[in-house]
């Protein structure tokens, strides 16, 4: 079991254990299951990697909910989602708790959810500005289901609904970072070595200490204005990628402190749905931008639009601009020969989705393209619902780039194709 998996397992098993003592007619227990097999093969040579694949696994997921009669007045519900994963890539058998939480309504207009849960908000499609909750890009780049892009957090979430505005507050006692690329499944550009690296990478990521001052806090306030929903965001915590270097020679990295402030607006536009989102990232440990070992502050802007064109065809696009602040200080701090990032990074996305054969076939093409980095990432996939219980999915991850150090260019050797077969019951 990985890390604190045993404690997580106990958090999942305990509610079920308590439920077993209650009268059968009071349990109101709902369970769903699925079993899935997945495989992914690399389609190009990569001398930094010793394997020819990066996905070979089978998993069984159990998802359950229970409404305890003793807490009926509070509309309480215990929810859980647990998996047993047999991973052929690293020859491991792991228990994974994706959810184990108690939700209840102590008073009208207040909802509380405590425990392990997936947190998400914002308006972007695969682009996250004010959603600073952890992600798993290894799963994303190797062909796992989109569900696994989001990493669960141990959190207390409080939602307050009021006429003027609604408020969500999420408190995370322990910082949960992204599942970062480390070279074992995907090669990447290692800035400390100045080259693409893979299996030989030996990075050490130091998480923040589990102290009161390191508790993370995320808040959003939102309300509707006619047909539009406007939202304000606040986050205090840490970058969820290791954007700070403790010791470059020893490849030791840390997660710098971050405060973020943002806003978004989403609603109907010209027969479709439009959205705008922006966020200011205040890198608290390098506000001057002079420390080459810590990420600079930045501002991000996103505009998007999607529309149903009829005939089960949907198309959508987004434009993202990332502006690095204190850019002159950043360039002055670079070492000799070290590649510089652009002050303004531009990124465009396109999604085309078509349902066919009585909506049993779903074909999706998603593309990321950066005109400033001159790189791209393509995600074509087709899902076929063979029966009500059985679904097959095939797809690919294709990376294109002219420079090894750019966001997608660094993954150019990691092109892969994958297939998944899931049976739900």
Q: Is the pLDDT of residue 305 over 70?
A: yes
- Residue 386 domain boundaries: 5-424
Q: What is the pLDDT of residue 21?
A: 42
Cα(186)–Cα(142) distance, integer angstroms: 8
Dump strand ranges (E) for 329-415: 344-356, 361-370, 375-385, 390-401
Sheet strand arrangement including 204-206: 204-206, 252-254, 244-247
Cα(359)–Cα(190) distance, integer angstroms: 44
Q: What is the pLDDT of residue 51?
A: 80
pTM, rounded to two decimals: 0.91
Q: What is the pLDDT of residue 272?
A: 97
**Residue 160: phi, psi to the nearest 5?**
-120, 125
Q: Is the pLDDT of residue 14 over 60?
A: no
Q: What is the pLDDT of residue 56?
A: 96
Mean residue pLDDT of the chain comes to 91
Q: What is the pLDDT of residue 127?
A: 98
Question: Structural domain tally of the chain?
Answer: 1
User: pLDDT digit string (tens) for 63-120?
Assistant: 999 888 878 889 999 999 999 999 999 899 999 999 999 999 999 999 999 999 999 9
CATH of the domain at 273: 2.40.160.10
User: pLDDT digit string (tens) for 113-152?
Assistant: 999 999 999 999 999 999 999 999 999 999 999 999 999 9
Between strands 252-254 and 204-206, the pairing is parallel
Q: What is the pLDDT of residue 20?
A: 44
Q: What is the pLDDT of residue 28?
A: 65
């Amino acid at each position: 079991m990985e890390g604190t998996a045993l404690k997580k397992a106990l958090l999942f098993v305990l509610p079920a254990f308590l439920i077993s003592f209650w009268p059968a007619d009071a349990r109101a227990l709902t369970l769903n299951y699925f079993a899935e097999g997945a495989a992914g093969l690399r389609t190009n040579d990569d001398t930094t990697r010793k394997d020819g694949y990066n996905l070979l696994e089978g998993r069984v997921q159990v998802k359950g909910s229970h409404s305890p009669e003793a807490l009926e007045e509070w509309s309480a519900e215990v929810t859980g989602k647990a998996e047993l994963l047999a991973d052929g890539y690293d020859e491991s058998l792991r228990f994974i708790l994706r959810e184990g939480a108690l939700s209840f309504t102590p008073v009208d207009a207040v909802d509380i959810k405590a425990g392990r849960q997936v947190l998400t908000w914002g308006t972007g499609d695969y682009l996250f500005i004010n959603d600073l909750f952890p992600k798993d890009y290894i799963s994303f780049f190797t062909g796992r289901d989109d569900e696994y892009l989001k990493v669960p957090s141990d959190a207390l979430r409080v939602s307050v609904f009021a006429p003027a505005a609604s408020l969500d507050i999420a408190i995370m006692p322990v910082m949960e970072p992204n599942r970062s690329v480390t070279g074992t499944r995907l090669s990447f550009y290692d800035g400390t070595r100045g080259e693409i690296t893979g299996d030989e990478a030996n990075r050490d990521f130091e998480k923040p200490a589990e102290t009161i001052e390191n508790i993370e806090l995320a808040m959003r306030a939102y309300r509707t204005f006619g047909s539009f929903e406007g939202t304000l965001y606040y986050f205090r915590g840490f970058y969820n990628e290791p954007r700070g270097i403790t010791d470059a020679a020893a490849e030791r990295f840390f997660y710098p402190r971050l405060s973020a402030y943002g806003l978004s607006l989403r609603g109907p536009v010209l027969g479709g749905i439009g959205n705008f989102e922006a966020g200011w990232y205040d890198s608290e440990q390098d506000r001057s931008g002079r420390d080459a070992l810590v990420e600079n502050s930045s501002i991000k802007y996103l505009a998007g639009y999607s529309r149903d064109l009829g005939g089960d065809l949907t198309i959508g696009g987004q434009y993202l601009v990332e502006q690095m602040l204190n850019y002159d200080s950043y360039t002055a701090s670079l070492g000799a020969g070290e590649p510089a990032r652009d002050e303004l990074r531009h990124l465009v996305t396109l999604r085309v989705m078509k349902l066919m054969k009585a909506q049993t076939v779903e074909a999706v093409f998603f593309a990321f393209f950066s005109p400033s980095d001159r790189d791209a990432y393509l995600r074509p996939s087709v899902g076929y619902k063979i029966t009500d219980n059985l679904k097959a999915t095939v797809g690919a991850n294709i990376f294109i780039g002219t420079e090894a150090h750019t966001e997608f260019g660094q993954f150019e050797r990691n092109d892969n194709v994958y297939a998944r077969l899931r049976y739900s019951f």
